[in-house]
Every structure is written in C-alpha cells, then in structure tokens.
Chains A and B, each alone.
Chain A
C-alpha cells in the first residue's frame, strides 16, 4: 500500500477544493491553528499577548524592536497553540452550556455560578518563558526537515527546566511527598510547567506540528546477503591488517546482530574471552558471548546466547565467529571487546 507521496502525485495539480469538500469535517480545519474561538477562555487560563509581554519584560512592547516583535508574535502563537488543544466543537458546546446555565440562573434572579476571578499574578506563574523557548527552538532547522525542529525534540526544554527546578534549593528546603505503605514516595515540587496552561500549550503544539517518524528500515534477505557478500569481497582484496580488522568486525557485527536480534549498542558487547572459552568446533551450535551492562541493569553481566551455525537463509554464523577469533588470535588478542 502506498501513500500519495510515494506515487509522486503533485497535490497542486489535483482538484483540492473538491477533495476538501468530500472530506468535510473529517479533515482538520486549517483556521483552528490561526484564530481563537468564542469560549476558548472558559477552557484555557488565558492572558493576552501584551499582559504576558509585560510580565516577561516589565515594559510595554516597542514594535520598532525586532526582539519585542518576535516575543509578541511568539506569545500570540503560545496562546493559539493552547487554544487548539481543544476541538472547535468542544469549545462551542461548552460555551453553549455556560450560556444556558446563565439563562437558567437569570430565571430565578441569580447572576449565575461564574464569578469574576481576580487577575493572574504579575510573575511568570505558568512557564511562559519555557514555552517561548520551545517555540523559538522549533523554528530552527531540524534533522528531518530544514524548516523546523520536531515537537519530540523541542519538548526536551521542558524536561531540562523541570530537572533544574526539582533540584533547586527552594524545592528542597522542605520535602513534601506522598508515601504509600510499600515505601514508595512521590515528591511534590513547585514547577510552573505543571500548570494547566502549559499542559494545554504542549497538547496544542503537538496537534499543530504533527510528527515525522522515519524508523530504520529492515533489509530484505537478498539485500542483506548481497551486503555481506560485498563486504566479504572487499575483505578478500585487502592486505592491510587494520583494514582487515575493520571489515571482519563489520561483517561479524552485521551477522551477529541479525542472527540473535540485537540492536545498536548490544552488538558491541561481543566478548572475545567468552567467545574463545565457549567456541567448540564439534558442537552443533555456537555460543555468542556478550559482556557488559545493559541499559537498566545495575552491574556488568554475561549473556551466553546459543546460535545455529548456519541459518536458513545461508548465513554462516560459525564461519564468521571463527574467522574473528583466529584473526584476534594472530594479533595476540585473547580477551576484551571482540568488535
């Protein structure tokens, strides 16, 4: 199954208005990201751009200043992102309910259960600075797209701020925690990024930016065998021992990672001492020895993994391991990392 991108359709040549009409409400309304809706402030703790600017800079914006203009635009974007965390239909339904409640209250001479609350404090109480940082970071070239950096990358700024604030003296003078009977604690800290506005902002930001996910692809078996064959042919033509070592290691890493389902760093844990100790020419299988600390483990540990000598696709695991052991032996290496 292929998406339009793969078939190289040029969307400008297609009948876009007709397609948009056909999709109707199933497609997201583009205006959602560009405007506030009546009733947004009933769901989002809203402060206008100028108030946020005044909080952050302690003076009104000078629109001749580039920095001020950028900050104003960023705070506007921040509010709009917080708004678009909620669907248009949710906002309008909530507003309609509030209006109905006010009408019902009026029939019995009441003002309604929605009093006017005092304004927000004069300091950055909900992580505006972190949000501004995230938005400005998103404008930088990313690894997947030169025009912006992805949400999953920019959200790390919130983590950095939260780490900082958790370790700050003000959050550690008195420890507030919830403990259960199993001895587990949850420490409570004052963190502006835990505010409702910040939560809504990050939700809206994620909705707006979407996500590009480009996982590493698997190889077909003919491709994998062709790769190993090319590496073997190159190895045969080499005379320099260092270059031979590089290619022998590359072939071993490729073969072992494939045969016993290893990912990146695990392939490098191949242990020469373990391989030497457990290598048996008469055995029906080979033992692949890994040594090291896996992510999440507390200590270095040995993993001995039995592996068939020859796989059904014709990859000779024993031959590859045997060659590595002999090469290392001829270089007087009997222990340490094998790759």
Chain B
C-alpha cells in the first residue's frame, strides 16, 4: 500500500518538472517551484480541484450535496447528520443520476 508521503513526493516531482517547462499552467502567485510542495498536497488538492470544477461547470448544489454526503456524515461524528429531511430519507445506494451528473462534469 502506498503512503501519502510517497504520493506527494511523486506528484511534487512531476509538478516541478511541469513548472519548469510550462509555468503558465500555475497561478501567477506561484513565483518559484519551491512553493509547490507546500501548495499542492494529495490531502486536499484533488478534492479542491474537483469542487472548483463542479462550481465552474454549474453542477447543481443538490448534486454536490449528494456526492458530498460522505463528508456530511463524517462531520456529524457518528450522530445523525444535519441534512434536510428529504436527503435524510434518501437511500444513497439507489441514487445514480446525481453521481453521474457530478462525475460527468469533472
């Protein structure tokens, strides 16, 4: 099984290579490759990329909420998550379209 550190190291190595050849792909605040390891980490970068893309593509907030429900349950720390009654009584494993809408937009 891979470790998060190994994944980060591999991703950083390639991002630094990309920065040296095409720095335009990075935001203007990224003035040197030294900032890459602290700015991009597997822990949140891909999730943040996904959430940004969803907003940009105009995915509806109800679809985002359904895909995000895993996190809602996590935040509730074992208690009943604070979601609308409609969402509470929705059986997640029978839902298909919200997931497909979201992932198709990625």
Asked whether, in the complex, the Cβ of B106 is within 8 Å of the Cβ of A246, the reply is no
Asked whether, in the complex, the Cβ of A257 is within 8 Å of the Cβ of B47, the reply is yes
Q: Say whether A303 faces chain B, with CB atoms less than 8 Å apart.
A: yes
CB contacts under 8 Å to B, within A23-38, are none
In the bound complex, how far is the Cα of B74 from the Cα of A25, in angstroms?
Answer: 43
Smallest Cβ-Cβ distance to B10: which chain A residue: A250
Q: Say whether B87 faces chain A, with CB atoms less than 8 Å apart.
A: no
Q: Say whether A105 faces chain B, with CB atoms less than 8 Å apart.
A: no
Chain A residues bordering chain B, tally (CB within 8 A): 55
Smallest distance from the beta carbon of B12 to chain A beta carbons, Å? 10
In the bound complex, how far is the Cα of B70 from the Cα of A234, in angstroms?
Answer: 33
Smallest distance from the beta carbon of A225 to chain B beta carbons, Å? 9
Residue from A224, A249, A263, A304 having most chain B Cβ neighbours under 10 A: A263
Interface SS majority for chain A:
mixed
In the bound complex, how far is the Cα of B1 from the Cα of A221, in angstroms?
Answer: 27
Q: Say whether A238 faces chain B, with CB atoms less than 8 Å apart.
A: no
A311 touching B103 in the complex, CB below 8 Å, given contacts A214-B39, A297-B78: yes
Q: Say whether A96 faces chain B, with CB atoms less than 8 Å apart.
A: no
Smallest distance from the beta carbon of A228 to chain B beta carbons, Å? 9
Asked whether, in the complex, the Cβ of A254 is within 8 Å of the Cβ of B11, the reply is yes
Asked whether, in the complex, the Cβ of B48 is within 8 Å of the Cβ of A218, the reply is yes
**In the complex, how many residue pairs between chain A and chain B have their CB atoms under 8 Å apart?**
162
Q: Say whether A296 faces chain B, with CB atoms less than 8 Å apart.
A: yes
Contacts of A48 in B (CB 8 A): none
Asked whether, in the complex, the Cβ of B67 is within 8 Å of the Cβ of A260, the reply is yes
Interface SS majority for chain B:
helix
In the bound complex, how far is the Cα of B106 from the Cα of A296, in angstroms?
Answer: 28
Smallest distance from the beta carbon of A328 to chain B beta carbons, Å? 12
Task: Pick the residue among B28, B68, B100 that contacts A308 (CB under 8 A).
Answer: B100
Asked whether, in the complex, the Cβ of B74 is within 8 Å of the Cβ of A307, the reply is no
Asked whether, in the complex, the Cβ of A216 is within 8 Å of the Cβ of B41, the reply is yes
Q: Say whether A313 faces chain B, with CB atoms less than 8 Å apart.
A: yes
Q: Say whether B7 faces chain A, with CB atoms less than 8 Å apart.
A: yes
Stretch at the interface among A14-22, A111-119, A264-272: A264-272
Asked whether, in the complex, the Cβ of B48 is within 8 Å of the Cβ of A220, the reply is no
Residue from B50, B57, B68, B103 having most chain A Cβ neighbours under 10 A: B103
Q: Say whether A315 faces chain B, with CB atoms less than 8 Å apart.
A: yes
Q: Say whether A183 faces chain B, with CB atoms less than 8 Å apart.
A: no
Asked whether, in the complex, the Cβ of A246 is within 8 Å of the Cβ of B10, the reply is yes
Q: Say whether A109 faces chain B, with CB atoms less than 8 Å apart.
A: no
Contacts of A6 in B (CB 8 A): 28-29
Smallest Cβ-Cβ distance to B99: which chain A residue: A306
Task: Pick the residue among B27, B48, B52, B74 that contacts A295 (CB under 8 A).
Answer: B74
Asked whether, in the complex, the Cβ of B41 is within 8 Å of the Cβ of A305, the reply is no
Q: Say whether B104 faces chain A, with CB atoms less than 8 Å apart.
A: yes
Q: Say whether B53 faces chain A, with CB atoms less than 8 Å apart.
A: yes
List chain B positions with a Cβ less than 8 A from chain A. 1-2, 4, 6-7, 10-11, 14-15, 17-18, 22, 25-29, 38-54, 57, 64, 67-68, 70-71, 73-78, 93, 96, 99-100, 102-106
